[in-house]
Amino acid sequence: MQLTKQRPSIAGLLAAASCSLLNQGVSASEDDKWQVETAVLLYSEKDRVDAVEPVISATRGFAGDSTLTIKFASDTLTGASPSGASISDVPQTFTRPSGKGDYVTPAGELPLDDTFKDSRGAVSVQYKFPLDRRTRLSTGLAFSKEYDYTSMALNATIARDFNNKNTTISAGFAYAEDTIDPEGGIPIAFAAMAPAGSEQARDGIEEDKTTTDLLIGVTQVINRQTLMQFNYSYSRAEGYLTDPFKILSLVDGVSGTTLDYLYEQRPQERVKHSLYWKTKYHQLGGNTIDVSYRYLWDDWDISSHTVDFRYRMPFAERHYIEPHLRYYSQDQADFYQTFLVTGSPLPNHASADSRLGSYEGITLGAKYGYRINEGSEFNMRVEYYEQTGDGSDRTIGVARGLFPDLEAVIVQLGYSFSF
């Protein structure tokens, strides 16, 4: 028996890197058995959106180390979402997207569009199989449909192990084609919102967008307790990237009185890049640390930092508790404006969608898990998520373009089993 460590030369290592498969990510299921994961997410924003999302995923292993995963998800949204219009000192009347009615936002309140109620169904299939002893291919298809939105996507990732399975290099590609056919049709860029009952000129009934993603990554085992991952991703979206329901207030440059509501317009292309680093660390006492950082930047001038930290503490053999902290900060898009002002020429692009603004987000919560037996677990997490605007607020006269701070509660129940 030879237990002494041998460190071959680099050339030798490269040659000797013919190692067997590294089962990373979801642990491979046994042949002829389904591993089923179920969860339901309850997402509730204060005074705004409520969402319920059940999801079920089933994975089966086959001879030859291949696995098949089928996943179904659906979600139902109700509530109200900021329309982009500014707060005013008088009540404001907005036309519903259908053009057939209107709603009034009281003076001094943030205009929220309460018309949307949507449900979505999604299905995806992923098949992973080995190409040789140290190379795996994963391919997938996804389809989702909601009332006014259809998406089809495909992906493929190849992963190859080196250095006695301690290094894995992967490269992936994904492509998605989406179609939107919003209630009432596609608004004309910067067209004024017509009063309910009168004709709103439209730019057709549907639009498309395509998204191409490329990802390359390295996963490295550092030592017995530490695993690290480093990714670079590139994503290019082309086509209709505007939100057909979002508007901007057009206000008087002195008094701030609202004169009109104009439909927003975004560029036809967005290229974004991200660098992602993750470390998993197993303390000898049994606790595990999961920490990641992402830096993202794009050609809309948005950049963001995301730090995610989870600390899993097992106790009493079958239980664990896992506190979670996530910090997010984002710089606004170069065409983000809280409102437009009369007198100055219209820009090529403008949006008051707060998701393109400058803000910080904090998520704080914890997860509890109970392992019922091998392959079967119950878990629950409760988290609080908050977004706070970061200096892009603007006031002219009575018009107040404020970042609509957000508070939400996330509750998730999960149960997994095999049969």
Partner 1 sequence: MKKMNIVLLALLLGGCAQWGVEPWERDLLAKPAMQLVSDPLEAGLDDHIYFSKEASSGGASFGGGGCGCN
Q: How far is Cα 23 from Cα 29, in angstroms, rounded to an integer?
A: 10
Our finding on whether 333 is near partner 1 (CB under 8 A) is yes
Is 174 among the residues that bind partner 1 (CB under 8 A)? yes
Which residue of 330, 337, 338, 392 would you call a contact of partner 1, by CB under 8 A? Answer: 330
Q: What dihedral angle (degrees, nearest 10) is formed by the CA atoms of 18, 20, 26, 31?
A: 150
* Range in contact with partner 1 (rule: CB under 8 A) among 101-109, 127-135, 252-260, 404-412: 404-412
Per CB under 8 A, which region of 88-96, 171-179, 191-199, 252-260 contacts partner 1?
171-179
CA distance 13 to 413: 46
Applying CB under 8 A, among 87, 110, 180, 399 the residue interacting with partner 1 is 180
359-373 and 340-341: which strand pairing?
Answer: unpaired
Question: Which CB atom, from 190 or from 320, has the smaller least distance to partner 1?
Answer: 320
CA distances to 141, 220, 325 from 308, in Å: 28, 19, 6
> Which one, of 323, 336, 326, lies nearest residue 305 by Cα?
326
The token pair at 133 is: 């002893």
Minimum Å gap between C-beta 225 and partner 1 is 6
What is the sign of the dihedral through the CA atoms of 349, 352, 356 and 359? positive
Instruction: Please name the residues in contact with 377: beta carbons below 8 A apart, sequence gap of 6 or more.
Output: 369, 370, 371, 414, 415, 416
Cα-Cα-Cα-Cα dihedral of 104, 106, 107, 113, to 10°?
-60
Stretch 261-290 residues interacting with partner 1 (CB under 8 A): 272, 274-276, 278, 280, 282, 288, 290
- Least distance between partner 1 and beta carbon 89 (Å): 27
**Residue partners of 192: CB distance under 8 A and separation at least 6:** 250, 260, 261, 262
Q: What is the DSSP string of 62-103?
A: ETTTEEEEEEEEEEEEES-EE-SPPB-SS-EEEE-TTSS-EE
Q: Does 151 bind partner 1 (CB under 8 A)?
A: yes
Site map (CB under 8 A) of partner 1, residues 201-230, x = contact: ----------x-x-x--xxxxxxxx-x-x-
Closest CA to 69 of 28, 121, 39, 20: 28
Q: Which of 70, 216, 259, 296 binds partner 1 (CB under 8 A)?
A: 296
Our finding on whether 74 is near partner 1 (CB under 8 A) is no
Q: Which of 44, 74, 139, 167 binds partner 1 (CB under 8 A)?
A: 167
For partner 1, the closer of residues 266 and 399 by Cβ is 266
Considering only the stretches 2-10, 60-68, 85-93, 194-202, report the one whose residues sit in contact with partner 1 under the rule CB under 8 A: 2-10
Name residues contacting partner 1, limited to 363-382 (CB under 8 A).
367, 379, 381
Binding-residue total with partner 1 (CB under 8 A): 101
Pick from 233, 258, 265, 392 the residue near partner 1 by CB under 8 A.
233
Contact residue for partner 1 among 74, 304, 376, 395 (CB under 8 A): 304
Which of 52, 58, 68, 153 is close enough to bind partner 1 by CB under 8 A?
153
